Structure 1
Amino acid sequence: MDDTTPIADTPIRTQADLEAFWRRLMEPLGFSDGTLWVLAIGGDDLPTPTLLEVVDEGVQPTPEEAIAFGAFLAHLSADVPDGSRWAFLRSRPGRGGPTAADRALVAGLVAGCRDAGVPTEVVHLATDDTLVPLPYDELARSA
């Protein structure tokens, strides 16, 4: 993806495509609050205009809240194109890669989506100095 291609016109077919999308959206890195970004990717692999910003109060969701989040996205799925899937990026202030709290938060939310039958992509984390993928199998081992 080059800098002249509109971000909404660039297909997201691979984890590398998704990471490039998040980089274009989030750089330059640097965050004052924790946020969960939620993106719908259409069945045609194009990002939809649906981008949610959920402010993170620094509290881990309970299992019930994670299930409710999955149910919420299942409800929203009726408003996005057929075959859509959901992508998440957790952004937070601070330096370095994922912490145990980051992994637990993301693992809980992805598990809630799986319980609700909501298809998801590899989750990404952005901090003040890095943007990295958080593959689900890694999350499941560390949570």
Structure 2
Amino acid sequence: MTYRPVISTQADLERMWRHLMEPLGFGGSSLWFLPVGPDGEVHPAIVQVEDVDPLPPPEEVLAMVAGVASVVDDVAPGARVAFLRSRPGRRGVDADDRAWARELYAAARTVGVALEVVHLATDADVLPLPADAA
């Protein structure tokens, strides 16, 4: 059976990321994204950008989010984008994680794409990085 979650709440989104990232344990830092349609259905394509910098240059994040928005609009018009940062280690949210979330939210506002709550996956847990905490 194919895993096809429907995202109606933040809890649904977190459950989806947990399902997709388990078993937890990462050799490097990555950024993952996928489209979530207006009806909450998740598009079956998940994309991983490997070896991302710990502290994102804002212009690079803006260019990446603009590219993601363009692709998502072609594949799933009207979709929101769900991002997750994964990295090795067992520590909780740190300054680099908050910087990534802050830059993703800022770039999405500039580009005009709707984002789901950004998440973080470490070797120990999956955690939300809401905009007001970034």
TM-score computed with the length of structure 2 as normaliser:
0.92
Moved over 2 A (4+): 56-61, 80-83
Secondary structure of the structure 1 residue equivalent to 2:78: coil
Residue of structure 1 in register with 2:51 after alignment = 56
Asked whether the 8 Å contact 2:26–2:123 carries over to 1, the reply is: yes
- Paired residue for 1:138? 133
**1-structure distance, mates of 2:22, 2:29:** 15
2:118 counterpart (123, 131, 139): 123
Q: How does 1:85-100 map to 2 (within 5 A)?
A: 85-100=80-95
Aligned to 1:33: 28
Structure number with bigger Rg: 1
Q: SS at 1:48's partner residue?
A: coil
Q: CA deviation at 1:51?
A: 1.1
User: What runs of 5+ residues in structure 2 fail to find an aligned partner?
Assistant: none
Tell me how far 1:58 sits from its aligned partner. 2.7
**Partner SS, residue 16 of structure 2:** helix
Match of 2:100 among 101, 105, 108: 105
Matches within 5 A, 1:10-21: 10-21=5-16
Measure how far apart 1:105 and its partner are.
1.5
Local SS of the residue matching 2:96: helix
Instruction: Quote the residue 1:7 is aligned against.
Output: 3
Deviations 1:11-57 (A, max 9, x none): 11111000000111111211111111101111221110231100133
* Percent pairwise identity: 49
Aligned Cα root-mean-square deviation (Å): 1.5
Residues 73 and 113 in structure 1, CA contact (< 8 A), matched pair in contact too: no
Q: Secondary structure at the match of 1:7?
A: coil
